[in-house]
């Protein structure tokens, strides 16, 4: 039996300390009491589990997994499950806190949670991945549920994994529980529009930000780092609206054409070849080079901490839209703000996924499902309202968009906590 432990983190900063420092700065700005800060800067529950899994060669590997609940003052916890070789408990805690603020900013009746397994999913067969997912579900089964904590996809997971979690949970309950996870396939209670939701929400935010500057999406030059679900769909959506997608990348590297890429062709090439190697009509670039390209909008849609103090002064984009969670470090945030770069923070820019997850949860509880046009219209209403509220705070207080978003979100969670009172 082999035990697979968490590797040293690739992150330059501890994400949990980064999340807590962001909270402390906002607490001082909006006069949150020390007692309230003591509550908000800690996670309600952190669980680490071992996940023994039978491999194809008959051996057993033991993976490490986590499930963290940050806060439930506004409702049951909500947050994705990440499969990645660099997952850590501190990263999971930070992501759960960011989910709390994200849900509050969007006005959803959820608190924040997150889960993760230390695994490189591409190195496992589908059967190994299914066995590992089902065992992980069994280990956290008493922590999740439609009124308690509702998982969803994240990096390295998707509808397939959510189907396995839904089935494992339902088999243990003895009946189908549609609301236990979101991001499920349509055949078993998923919502139309969920797959594209995070990207579509980011596109709405980019549209609104450009309008504030007197521009439309059409004709704007966009560089997108990350070509998973979020980056790929954001490229397709913005290209369809007339934007020029000048660069895209995956974990191995990217492609660049200053006159704009054929996004549909890039998607097909990536699907067929599993990389951008050999793509015609573009030059190869690194992920580091993509971040400092001459463009109007930069959308980091991969992992955390890619825009740092080392490269923030080289970013040429006028708008940075955080399609990923935490891609801009606090040091880089300050540099970009001083340079006049508008940063659309993750709790606003990539909240479309949790909004449509909320829709899926509601539809599952009611067992009544909406048309895709209804889903997208409701998503547009919620995201544009949240953008407008954040922009108003940004202008009235003369603070960054991140500070404005946090001020609103933290204030709402603090208010809910005060209203509920302290038990016992």
> Given a cut of 80, is residue 8 above it in pLDDT?
no
Q: Looking at 38-47, 136-145, 303-312, which range is the least confident one?
A: 303-312
Q: Which of 300, 315, 349 is the last residue of a domain?
A: 349
**Do the domain assignments include residue 184?**
no
Which tokens go with 391?
């922009």
**Do the domain assignments include residue 360?**
no
Q: Are strands 253-256 and 244-250 parallel, antiparallel or unpaired?
A: antiparallel
Question: Are both 7 and 136 inside the same structural domain?
Answer: yes
Question: Are both 6 and 151 inside the same structural domain?
Answer: yes
Domains contained in the chain, number: 2
pLDDT in tens, 165-220: 999 999 999 999 999 999 999 999 999 999 999 999 999 999 999 999 999 999 99
Question: Residues 360-387: what's their mean pLDDT?
Answer: 97
Cα–Cα dist 42/24, whole Å: 12
**Do the domain assignments include residue 388?**
no
> Given a cut of 70, is residue 309 above it in pLDDT?
yes
Q: What are phi and psi of 240, to 5 degrees?
A: -65, -25
Question: Are both 227 and 266 inside the same structural domain?
Answer: yes
> Given a cut of 80, is residue 12 above it in pLDDT?
no
CB 114 within 8 A of CB 96: yes
User: For the sheet containing 319-321, what is the strand order?
Assistant: 283-285, 253-256, 244-250, 221-225, 297-300, 319-321, 342-344
pLDDT in tens, 31-90: 899 999 999 999 999 999 999 999 999 999 999 999 999 999 999 999 999 999 999 999
Q: Are strands 45-54 and 60-71 parallel, antiparallel or unpaired?
A: antiparallel
At residue 10, the pLDDT reads 53
Q: What is the CATH number of the domain that holds 63?
A: 3.40.50.10860
> Given a cut of 50, is residue 388 above it in pLDDT?
yes
For residue 47, give Cα distances in angstroms to 63, 76, 119, 142. 14, 17, 17, 11
**Do the domain assignments include residue 93?**
yes
Cα–Cα dist 364/369, whole Å: 8
Count CB atoms within 10 A of the CB of residue 299. 33
CB 347 within 8 A of CB 106: no
H or E element in which residue 63 lies: strand 60-71
At residue 182, the pLDDT reads 97
Cα–Cα dist 320/346, whole Å: 10
* Owner of token pair 């829709």: 359
At residue 371, the pLDDT reads 97
Question: Are both 65 and 149 inside the same structural domain?
Answer: yes
Catalytic residues: 114
Question: Are both 157 and 292 inside the same structural domain?
Answer: no
Question: Which residue range(s) make up the domain with 312?
Answer: 197-349
Question: Are both 165 and 208 inside the same structural domain?
Answer: no
Question: Are both 224 and 152 inside the same structural domain?
Answer: no
């Amino acid at each position: 039996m082999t035990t697979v432990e968490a590797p040293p983190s690739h992150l330059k900063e501890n994400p949990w300390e980064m999340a807590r420092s962001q909270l402390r700065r906002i607490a001082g700005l909006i006069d949150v009491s020390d007692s309230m800060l003591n509550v908000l800067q800690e996670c309600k529950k952190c669980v680490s589990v071992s996940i023994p899994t039978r491999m194809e060669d008959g051996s057993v590997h033991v993976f490490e997994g986590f499930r963290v609940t940050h806060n439930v003052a506004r409702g049951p916890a909500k947050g994705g499950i990440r499969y990645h070789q660099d997952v850590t408990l501190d990263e999971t805690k930070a992501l759960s806190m960011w989910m709390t603020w994200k849900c509050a900013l969007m006005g959803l009746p959820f608190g924040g949670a997150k889960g993760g397994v230390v695994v490189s999913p591409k190195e496992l067969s589908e059967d190994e991945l299914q066995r590992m997912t089902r065992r992980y579900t069994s280990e956290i089964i008493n922590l999740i549920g439609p009124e308690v904590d509702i998982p969803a996809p994240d990096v390295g997971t998707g509808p397939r994994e959510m189907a396995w979690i839904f089935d494992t949970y339902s088999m243990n309950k003895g009946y189908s529980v549609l609301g236990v996870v979101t991001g499920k396939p349509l055949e078993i209670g998923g919502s139309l529009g969920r797959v594209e939701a995070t990207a579509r929400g980011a596109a709405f935010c980019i549209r609104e930000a450009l309008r504030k500057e007197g521009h439309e999406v059409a004709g704007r030059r966009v560089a997108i780092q990350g070509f998973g679900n979020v980056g790929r769909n954001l490229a397709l959506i913005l290209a369809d609206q007339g934007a020029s997608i000048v660069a895209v990348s995956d974990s191995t590297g990217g492609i660049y054409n200053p006159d704009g890429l054929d996004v549909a062709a890039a998607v097909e090439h990536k699907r067929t070849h599993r990389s951008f190697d050999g793509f015609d009509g573009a030059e190869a670039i690194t992920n580091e080079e993509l971040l400092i390209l001459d463009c109007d909008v930069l959308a980091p849609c991969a992992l955390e901490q890619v825009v740092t103090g080392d490269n923030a002064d080289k970013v040429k984009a006028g708008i940075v839209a955080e399609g990923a969670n935490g891609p801009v470090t606090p040091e880089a945030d300050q540099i970009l703000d001083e340079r006049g770069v508008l940063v659309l923070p993750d709790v606003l820019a990539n909240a479309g996924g949790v909004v449509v997850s909320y829709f899926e949860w509601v539809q599952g509880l009611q067992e009544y499902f909406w048309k895709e046009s209804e889903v997208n219209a409701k998503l547009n209403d919620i995201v544009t309202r949240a953008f407008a509220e954040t922009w108003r705070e940004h202008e009235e207080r003369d603070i960054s968009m991140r500070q404005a978003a946090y001020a609103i979100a933290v204030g709402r969670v603090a208010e809910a906590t005060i209203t509920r009172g302290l038990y016992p």
